[in-house]
């Protein structure tokens, strides 16, 4: 997610799902026809993150964090641009320190990968995300799905899909309840590669497979045909210059049009303002994610966010082909 936290300009008219207040804050009475205000990209004690460059963690510290449940998912909502329905939440890894601060992934995922611990972190985030989805369903809150990022190490594990199915079965969930985000760098041209086989098997099982960070590297368009993808997630860098660089908008429009022709959805990351969301909708994107909707939140805060925005759940997320 983009590190900035700028609020939309006061003169901008925010779409109905744009954040305007914090979790748990009191709100004035409203008529039934009045849109529910959304939570702002506020910063409170639970949202503050530790400095991005703490000392490199030791293997013992990482193992203790995993075993103690300190590696947790935080949740950032994804909302369709046609109808403003909730598409789901992306679950992002954080390390909760004893002080309550949250270490960002840049502080520990690299060392975890070098130490051979990335699959355990993947599993901790996956289990936490599915637990939260089950809890929401148990409370009668219909969150369509959660999305998780899957590392190259996990995708190349022949047993990974079996473990995913076990996690789903243990929680009475089904494959369609989860979206798996993959980056193209983990894929190779050999159709017999374990990663390719796992991606195809996930799609056959009903898991939503999305190509993450599209537009940030060397995109092989052949992979859009070889894989059973449901959506492209446009890298946040493409949204960074909305309104100031016409070339960025040309690229977004072209990618969205191509995705439409291929029957794929498009989810744009990095929306920081109401103006960004309006432009991304005009350029043909299907859904959006970013600080203009909400910051990544611990599960308890995401529950409060949902309670403050009930009309997000009023209808199906039909605005996205994915």
**pTM listed for this prediction:** 0.81
pLDDT in tens, 27-81: 333 333 323 334 333 333 333 455 556 678 999 999 999 999 999 999 999 999 9
Topology (CATH) of 19-26+37-307: TIM Barrel (3.20.20)
First to last CA, the chain: 21
Query: For the packed helices 118-138 and 160-170, what is the interaxial angle rounded to 10 degrees?
Result: 30
Instruction: State the pLDDT confidence band at 220, using cuts at 50, 70 and 90.
Output: low
Each domain of the chain, given as residue ranges in start order, spans: 19-26+37-307
- The answer to whether the CB of 42 falls within 8 A of the CB of 295 is yes
Does the structure show a pLDDT above 90 at 222?
no
- The answer to whether the CB of 86 falls within 8 A of the CB of 317 is yes
Rounded Cα gap, residues 273 and 18, in angstroms: 8
In this predicted structure, what is the pLDDT of residue 227?
81
């Amino acid at each position: 997610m983009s590190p900035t936290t700028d609020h939309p300009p006061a003169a901008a008219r925010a779409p109905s799902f744009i954040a305007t207040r914090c979790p748990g804050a009191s709100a004035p009475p409203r008529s039934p026809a009045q849109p529910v205000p959304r939570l702002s990209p506020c910063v409170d004690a639970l949202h503050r993150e530790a400095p991005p460059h703490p000392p490199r963690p030791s293997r013992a510290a990482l193992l203790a964090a995993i075993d103690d449940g300190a590696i947790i998912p935080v949740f950032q909502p994804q909302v369709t641009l046609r109808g403003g329905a909730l598409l789901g939440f992306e679950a992002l890894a954080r390390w909760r320190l004893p002080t309550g601060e949250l270490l960002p992934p840049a502080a520990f995922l690299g060392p975890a990968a070098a130490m051979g611990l990335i699959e355990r972190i993947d599993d901790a985030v996956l289990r936490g995300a599915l637990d939260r989805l089950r809890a929401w369903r148990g409370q009668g809150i219909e969150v369509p799905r959660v999305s998780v990022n899957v590392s190259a190490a996990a995708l190349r594990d022949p047993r990974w899909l079996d473990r995913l199915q076990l996690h789903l079965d243990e929680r009475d969930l089904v494959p369609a309840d989860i979206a798996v985000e993959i980056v193209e760098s983990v894929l190779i041209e050999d159709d017999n590669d374990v990663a390719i086989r796992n991606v195809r098997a996930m799609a056959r099982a009903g898991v939503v497979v999305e190509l993450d960070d599209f537009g940030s590297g060397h995109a092989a368009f052949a992979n859009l045909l070889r894989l059973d993808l449901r959506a492209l997630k446009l890298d946040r860098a493409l949204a960074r210059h909305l309104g100031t660089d016409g070339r960025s908008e040309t690229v977004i429009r072209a990618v969205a049009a191509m995705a439409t022709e291929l029957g794929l959805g498009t989810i744009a990351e990095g929306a920081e303002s109401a103006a960004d969301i309006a432009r991304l909708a005009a350029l043909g994107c299907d859904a959006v994610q970013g600080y203009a909707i909400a910051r990544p939140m611990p599960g308890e805060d995401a529950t409060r966010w949902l309670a403050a925005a009930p009309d997000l759940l009023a209808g199906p997320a039909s605005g996205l082909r994915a």
